[in-house]
Structure formats: structure tokens, C-alpha cells
Amino acid sequence: MSRPRILLTRKLPTEVEARAMRDYEADLNTDDRLYARDELLARAADKDGLLVTVTDRIDAKLIAALPAEIRVIATFSVGYDHIDVAAATGRDVTVTNTPDVLTDATAEIAMLLMLGAARGATAGAATIREGRWKNWAPTGMLGREISGKRLGILGLGRIGQAVARRARAFNMTIHYHNRNRLRPDAEEGAVFHADAASLFRASDILSIHCASTPETRRIVNAETLALLPSGAIVVNTARGDIVDDDALIAALSSGRIGAAGLDVFNNEPNLHPGYLGLSNAFLLPHLGSATLETRNAMGFRALDNLDDFFAGRPPRDRVAP
């Protein structure tokens, strides 16, 4: 019996590719090129499934053009806003993601961003690298402590809860906003805010962990930034489109927002150039899940879902249909 044929749209960790080659007729992207739409469709022409990533725009037009043999799309990510789930459902194409496995790695990056933004790491590192550090000064390079501050978490899901657990080690008070309040045992003493505006007002540091949805896109904007306490810090490890770049850049430039730590951006990697000249913007190139352990786990989880699908079992992480 022939093995299922799958396309891996990006180069994945060595152990993940080895397993894919062992169990499938796998078409690898050995050069790690970003496939244009036409090339992706050409490579998908004789396949039974796709293993895609967040850099692939699997929109309705592309889904409509996929060969009828493709019945499953496994994404190497937790988020799946790059896939038109409604279009996939309309064609009865199963879509899966990889939750759980990147929680700790992303929470660690959120804490790094929080600390880097609060302590002026961007300006400090530039001073060292550019040879401008002359001596220690009692009033030089003053940042802010995060210890004892109010941490507002926009979206207290798996990653948000992991950040909250780490933040408690800094004696931070946890506040959060979700569509629905969590059970008391999941809250672990966190203060629930029924609306986002209330959360913003109570956040010395705002950490964004919600999904990108029509309701959350640009929820961090000029109006909501104005609700934050003066000098507040904004951290984003979720999705770039949750933040209005022009509004955040203006608030950082004026000092109304003290600092920002950002790992995700609109239109990445072509982020808004306004961030680049801001010494109070601590920027990372989407490193949230970038550990070998996590990327292996993501790949194995995606392959687990493909294994289930082709064995006739419901995939563990099915998000559509």
C-alpha cells in the first residue's frame, strides 16, 4: 500500500523531516524558500496533504485551487489565522494546529520582552556595541523594575497563564480580560476584568496573548493606549495585527507609553520602520517558539495529526471542519 504524499512548505528541524520521510512520501523544502502561490499549487498537485506554516497564506482562492486529493492541512503553529478555515470547511478539508507544545517557550520570550523593555535593553546594548559606554553613572540608563507591578494579561489562555505563573515570582499582581471568566482554580488569584478598557486602566504592564480575531484586531489603538497608566509597558507575543502600529509608535515617541517589547509585527518581516529608531522599543524577530525542543515538538504534533487523519482517526488538534 502506498504511503500518503505530503508537502512540507518550509524546512523543518532535522528530526521532524526524518520522521516525515520515514512515514510519508514527503516533498521537502530543502532550500527553505518561501513558495509563491503558483509554485505552492504546482508542488501540491500530486499530494494528499499539506504541512504548512504561518508564512503560508492559505486563503480561500488558494484552497479553491487545491487538487481534490488534498483533504488535510496541518499547520506548524498554534495560530491558524493564515488559513481561511471557512473555505477549508466548505471543501471538507480538515485543518489542524499545534497547541500546548510552545506554551513555555513563548512565555519565556514574553518575560524577556517585559524585562528588556522595562530595563532599556535596546539602548543599553547599543551603547556597548557602538563604544559609547564611558563609565557607570548614578543617573545613567535608568529603567523600571517590574517587581510588584500590575501585569495586565489580554487573553489568559495557556500562554497567558504560563506568563502569569512566571510573573508571580516577581511579586506582580495579575489582572486579565477574557471573553469568559476562568474558573477560580485557573485564575489563581488573578483579577478578572469584564471589559478590555477596565484591564487597560489597571495595567502597569500589558502583555498580549489573545488570538487574532475580528474582535481583537487593532484592539491596542490610540484610544485604548490612552487608558493605560502613564509610562506603561506594552508586550506582544501574540499577533502583530492586534496592535495599531501608528498609535503605539506615536505613544512611544511621546513617552506616554514608557516602552514596548515586541516579538510579532504586522506584515512581518517588513515591520513598520517607525519602530526602528525608538530606543524604548525592544524588538525580537518572532522568536516565541524558537527553541529546538519546541520546534521539534511542533513538528511532531503536526505529524501526529496527519497520522491520525490518514489512519481514519479524528486528529487530536482539529480546528476545522
The active-site residue, picked from 19, 177, 239, 301, is 239
Looking at residue 174, its pLDDT comes to 98
Alpha-carbon distance values, 142 to 176, 231, 258, 278, 279 (Å) = 28, 13, 12, 16, 13
The grid coordinates listed for 253 are 515617541
Mean pLDDT of the chain: 97
- Does 272 participate in catalysis according to the annotation? no
**pTM reported for the whole predicted model:** 0.91
Give the pLDDT band of residue 272 (cuts 50, 70, 90).
Answer: very high
Q: Write out the E strands in the chain.
A: 5-8, 25-27, 49-52, 72-75, 94-96, 150-154, 173-177, 191-192, 205-208, 232-236, 257-262, 281-283, 318-320
Over residues 159-196, the pLDDT tens digits come to 999 999 999 999 999 999 999 999 999 999 999 999 99
* Domain ranges across the chain: 5-101+292-320, 103-283
Q: Which amino acid makes up residue 292?
A: L
Report how far residue 291's alpha carbon sits from residue 294's, in angstroms, rounded to the nearest whole number: 5
What per-residue confidence (pLDDT) applies to 146?
A: 98
Whether 5-101+292-320 shares its CATH topology with 103-283 is answered yes
- Chain center to CA of 282: 16
When pLDDT is averaged across residues 237-258 and rounded to a whole number, the result is: 98
What is the mean predicted confidence (pLDDT) over 48-71? Answer: 97
Distance CA 309, CA 303 (A): 10
Catalytic residue among 268, 272, 316, 318: 268
pLDDT for residue 45 is more than 80: yes
Provide the pLDDT for residue 1.
Answer: 63
197: cell is: 478598557
- Domain 103-283 homologous superfamily, CATH: NAD(P)-binding Rossmann-like Domain (3.40.50.720)
Establish whether 268 is a catalytic residue: yes
- Cα pseudo-dihedral 180, 183, 189, 194, rounded to 10: 20
Identify the burial level of 284 via C-beta atoms within 10 angstroms of its C-beta, where 0-12 means exposed, 13-18 middle and 19 or more buried. Answer: middle
Of 19, 177, 286, 295, catalytic: 286
Beta bridge partners of 153: 176, 207
CATH number of the domain located at residue range(s) 5-101+292-320 in this protein: 3.40.50.720
283-316 pLDDT per residue, tens: 999 999 999 999 999 999 999 999 999 999 999 9
Express each pLDDT in 86-98 by its tens digit. Answer: 999 999 999 999 9
